[in-house]
């Protein structure tokens, strides 16, 4: 029994020595610290936060530029742009027509802070697209192009741009595709009558003034659209729109080749019957029961319409067999044709319906 007691006592003495050693070590450490009332960091641990989204943003944010619209040597407005192509020493940038419209000078500000004066290669009012070119002495990277026909509702997307000016340049918002192939009517001349239908992607990613012309990208980092507009109404939230990349590229290719989009010309100005009252129809000698179609207001001299025998007050009811409902829809049908195409036009003059052909110029 005494043997076991001796072993226990010896163990306790060893343990006491260990504790004494640890105590003295801690005391020496504390004594070595200068007491200042501040918390001393003995070990620093760094956590790196990285996700697929942060990687995509870091890889693509330098491909986005700010666009400044100067009028009389002062910045009139700002927007965004997406680097599209580098060719023969020039950098080509896609933006919106309304971003550069009316500018006496346009500049582009890159992610590195460099501001360069840009040349407007071409612009198109109907699609609200513009192409800029600049020459720089540093390297830039272009966007990879996606396929907007493959975009699905519910797909996660990112919008990058400079909302409310360059103070917030490189702002990123995330959302989903709320709808594809949306049709948004556009009034180009602010006369209260829709002139064009834009085919757009709808997204709830926040789009604010200054985002216009910036990219909408998917989670593969591909450019799938150019942000263009939003519905600004106190009763509406999260309804932004982007021009799909598949609609963009044919327009941009024409702007690069011609400086403008070449569309076929018939040579008429017209008004939709749906806009006319019964009194107006009676005044122009149009049948009161004729509801669809467009009444020709003016025929350009020596135009395809003039050569086809069309006259003012004629009502066009069909183009190549398709019923004409409004002037906006007629313009869309016409612009789907090419210069040199022959089209068949059905029209009503007084009470007589006739058909003629015209070769578009």
Residues 6+ apart with CB under 8 A from 206: 159, 163, 173, 175, 238, 240
Alpha helices (H) along 159-260:
245-258
Least confident range from 63-67, 196-200, 217-221, 322-326: namely: 196-200
Q: Do 319 and 338 fall into the same domain?
A: yes
Final residue in a domain of this structure, among 134, 158, 175: 134
Q: 32 by DSSP, 3-state: which? A: helix
Query: What percent helix, strand, coil does the chain show, rounded to 5?
Result: 25, 35, 40
Using DSSP's 3-state secondary structure scheme, residue 162 falls into coil
DSSP string, 42-103: SS--------HHHHHHHHHGGGEEEEEEEETTEEEEEEEEEEEEEETTEEEEEE-HHHHTT-
pTM reported for the whole predicted model:
0.79
In a domain, 48, yes or no: no
Which residues neighbour 326 within 8 Å (Cβ) at sequence distance 6 or greater?
272, 274, 294
Distance CA(154)–CA(85), nearest Å, equals: 29
**Whether residues 239 and 277 fall in one domain:** no
Q: Looking at the domain assignment, is residue 37 inside a domain?
A: no
Flag whether pLDDT at 92 surpasses 60: yes
Query: Both 224 and 293 in a single domain?
Result: no
Do 156 and 113 share a structural domain?
no
Q: Is residue 43 part of a domain?
A: no
Q: Is 64 found in the same domain as 21?
A: no
CA angle 212, 112, 218 (to 5 degrees): 45
* Radius of gyration of the chain measured on its C-alpha atoms: 33
> What's the mean pLDDT in 209-213?
87
Are 287 and 250 within 8 A, CB to CB? no
* Residue 18, pLDDT above cutoff 50: no
Q: Is residue 45 part of a domain?
A: no
142-196 tens-digit pLDDT: 999 999 999 999 999 999 998 877 777 888 999 999 999 898 888 887 777 777 8
The winner for highest mean pLDDT among 38-47, 160-169, 183-192, 327-336 is 327-336
pLDDT higher than 70, residue 45: no
Beta-ladder partners of 80 = 66
Residue labelled with tokens 């360069």: 116
Query: Which two three-digit tokens encode residue 178?
Result: 């709320």
Cβ 139 vs Cβ 89: under 8 Å: no
Burial class (CB in 10 A: 0-12, 13-18, 19+), 173: buried
Count of domains observed in the chain: 4
Do residue 151 and residue 212 come from a single domain?
yes
The CATH number of whichever domain residue 327 belongs to comes to 2.30.42.10
| Domain match, 229 and 166 both | yes
Q: What positions carry a catalytic annotation?
A: 98, 128, 212
Shared domain for 299 and 281, answered yes or no, is: yes
Residue 202 lies in a domain: yes
Q: How far apart are CA 251 and CA 211, in angstroms?
A: 21
**Is 176 part of a structural domain of the chain?**
yes
Domain that holds residue 342: 268-359
Domain-embedded: residue 117: yes
Residue 52 has pLDDT above 70, yes or no: yes
CATH number of the domain that residue 97 is part of: 2.40.10.10
Are 155 and 65 within one domain?
A: no
Task: Give pLDDT tens digits for 195-208.
Answer: 788 889 999 998 88
Q: Are residues 243 and 156 in the same domain?
A: yes
Instruction: Answer yes or no: do 341 and 272 share one domain.
Output: yes
Residue 39 lies in a domain: no
Residue 123 and residue 226 in one domain? no
In the DSSP assignment, the letter for residue 243 is E
| pLDDT at residue 19 tops 60 | no
């Amino acid at each position: 029994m005494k043997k076991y007691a001796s072993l226990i006592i010896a163990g306790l003495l060893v343990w006491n020595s260990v504790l004494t050693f640890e105590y003295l070590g801690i005391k020496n450490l504390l004594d070595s610290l200068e007491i200042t009332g501040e918390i001393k960091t003995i070990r620093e641990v760094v956590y790196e936060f990285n996700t697929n989204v942060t990687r995509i943003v870091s890889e693509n944010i330098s491909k986005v530029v700010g666009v400044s619209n100067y009028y009389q040597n002062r910045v009139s407005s700002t927007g965004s742009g997406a680097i599209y192509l580098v060719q023969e020493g020039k950098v080509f940038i896609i933006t919106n027509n309304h971003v550069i419209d009316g500018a006496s000078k346009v500049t582009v500000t890159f992610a590195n802070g460099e501001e360069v004066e840009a040349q407007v290669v071409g612009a198109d009012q109907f699609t609200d697209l513009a192409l800029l070119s600049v020459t720089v002495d540093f390297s830039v990277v272009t966007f990879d192009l996606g396929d907007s026909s493959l975009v699905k509702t519910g797909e996660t997307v990112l919008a990058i741009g400079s909302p409310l000016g360059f103070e917030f340049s490189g702002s990123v918002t995330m959302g989903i595709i709320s709808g594809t192939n949306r049709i948004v009517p556009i009034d180009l001349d602010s006369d209260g009558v829709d002139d064009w239908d834009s085919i757009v992607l709808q997204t709830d990613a926040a789009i604010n003034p200054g985002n216009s012309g910036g990219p909408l990208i998917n989670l593969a980092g591909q450019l799938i659209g150019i942000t263009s507009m939003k519905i600004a109404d106190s009763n509406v939230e999260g309804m932004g729109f982007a021009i799909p990349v598949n609609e963009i590229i044919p327009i941009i290719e024409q702007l690069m080749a011609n400086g403008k989009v070449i569309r076929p010309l018939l040579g008429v100005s017209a008004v939709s019957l749906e806009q006319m009252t019964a009194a107006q129809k009676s005044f122009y000698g149009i049948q009161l029961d004729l509801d669809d179609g467009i009444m020709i207001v003016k025929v350009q001299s020596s135009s395809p319409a003039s050569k086809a025998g069309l006259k003012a007050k004629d009502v066009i009811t069909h183009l190549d067999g398709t019923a004409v409902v409004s002037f906006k829809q007629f313009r869309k049908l016409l612009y789907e044709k090419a210069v040199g195409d022959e089209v068949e036009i059905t029209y009503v003059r007084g009470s007589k319906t006739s058909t003629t052909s015209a070769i578009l110029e």
